[in-house]
Structure 1
């Protein structure tokens, strides 16, 4: 890991970084090697896995992809590592729950998997990413709370990922950092940092038949994780729910959960 950027260099994933080293409002920093974020892990090499196990004590993977994505992409190499537990916590309604029966078939709704933004001059009301981010919270509060509990109450490191490691991963990581007391500026900066790897992320997605056709149909810069998207999302969360902690509390999160997450993530 580069101590200055927090990037973790792997051969089989390109958007991988440690959530350690971020400043909190009370002058502390987040602890390295406790929470990681990544794009799709399907292509991890043996060397990559050894890096995650040996250097980061990886114990838990929080997979935010839909059931359809998991079915289409097939089992990743970490599913064959006995010491790693995979937690499949989709942020979309799945077949048989929340009325989305279509999710039973192996079909990916790419607009939700990889939401793309309208141009900035089209106005905030047309920002599709914020709409989708709020949809994750509306539809799958259970998965979000469960993901944060894995991060709070397990040994070793927990790695959160989706397909690009941008939207679903971005929301879950932002909420975890908000609970930990990380400054809003640092939360937003971490979200936008995925843009540094956008070309490599899109290259990986193009290599998968699950995502390739739609990726090629849209301008590359429409996938940029702009800082103002996360700023507006968190502001909307503040305005509508009183912030991350109040929203979590309304969905079963407890003060004990907060204490546990902060103890895990903070120096």
Structure 2
């Protein structure tokens, strides 16, 4: 799928994460989408998004994030799921950027800790379960979208789990995850992000301090998979035991989303 990444004007990292091969067929394109938030979606973006036939939308952001950047899309007729848990007065990534010893290495450490904690946060579990429940619902139709603020960390974890449940191999799971770095064009936007963050923080951090907040590294997702495996034997078992994606649900998902 050469056109996997959709170049929208005000929405970062919007892409189709179907089209990957599995032992039982290829994931149907045009049914599973992932992205960042929709606060800056333009009218042209909204018209394009409306054309996709989305019927189910999961917003993984915390309530304080939604308050700061409310979505301009989707329309009310789309089923929209969010959660009121996890509110932060000072976002953890902002706290990590404050102080006198902020370096690229300290932010890498923050990202490692985040990925090791994220699979077991109660509000994440509730939303991850809701994602799979919605996809597997009897009679479900239309496309589905899952997103967070940047569409890379929380979204990256749940999309990787979706691929695993559907049978995508490890190489393609990692490929879709790392595609964020191309989709958000980090090198182009990093100077702008540095300026914006530094002004907000009253800081003068170098650009590479902010790189982990814009992109991803394989090791981040590997950390999430490691803690799932430590607790449950494998990421697939995590989906089964924590998110309720048993074999029967997995078969329903494959029936709906795979084409042979």
TM-score > 0.5, shorter chain as reference: yes
Q: Are the equivalent residues in 2 in contact too, given 1:35–1:151 (CA < 8 A)?
A: no
Q: Quick one: which of 59, 66, 81 aligns to 2:62?
A: 66
Equivalent in the alignment of 1:152 = 136
Counterpart mapping for 1:77-226 below 5 A = 77-78=72-73, 81-89=75-83, 93-94=85-86, 103=88, 105=89, 107-110=90-93, 119=105, 127-140=109-122, 141-153=125-137, 154-196=140-182, 197=184, 198-199=186-187, 213=201, 217=205, 219=208, 220-223=210-213, 224-226=215-217
Q: How far does the alpha carbon of each residue in 1:247-266 deviate from its partner, in whole angstroms, 9 at most, with x for none?
A: 12222333332122222322
User: How much has 1:31 moved relative to structure 2?
Assistant: 1.1
TM-score, length-scaled by structure 2: 0.79
Unaligned runs of 5+ in 1: 96-102
Please give the alpha-carbon distance, in whole angstroms, between the structure 2 residues aligned to 1:84 and 1:12. 20
Distance 1:204 1:157 in 2: 33
> 2:240 aligns to what?
249
Which of residues 40, 43, 46 is equivalent to 2:40?
43
TM-score scaled by length of structure 1:
0.77
- The alpha-carbon deviation at position 169 of structure 1 amounts to 0.5
Distance 1:184 1:20, change over 3 A: same
Q: How many residues align?
A: 243
Tell me the residue number matched to 1:57. Answer: 53
Verify the 8 A CA contact 1:164 1:205 in the aligned structure 2.
no
Q: Note the alpha carbon deviations across 1:209-235, whole angstroms, 9 max, x for none.
A: 8x9549974624333311232234324
> Do 1:15 and 1:201's aligned partners in 2 also have CA atoms closer than 8 Å?
no
Q: 1:227 aligns with which of 218, 222, 238?
A: 218
In 1: Cα distance, 2:246 partner to 2:68 partner: 36
Distance 2:38 2:148 in 1: 9
- Give the structure 2 partner of residue 98 of structure 1: none
Label 1:204 to 1:60 Cα distance change in 2 as closer, same or farther (>3 A): farther
Deviation at 1:108, TM superposition (A): 2.6
Residue in structure 2 matched with residue 260 of structure 1 by the alignment: 252
Change (3 A) 1:42 1:236: same
1:205/1:144 CA distance change after superposition, 3 Å: farther
Cα gap change, 1:200 to 1:49, in 2 (>3 Å) = farther
1:174 touches 1:191 (CA, 8 Å); kept in 2?
yes
Q: Is the 8 A contact 2:135 2:253 kept in 1?
A: yes
Q: CA deviation at 1:117?
A: 9.8
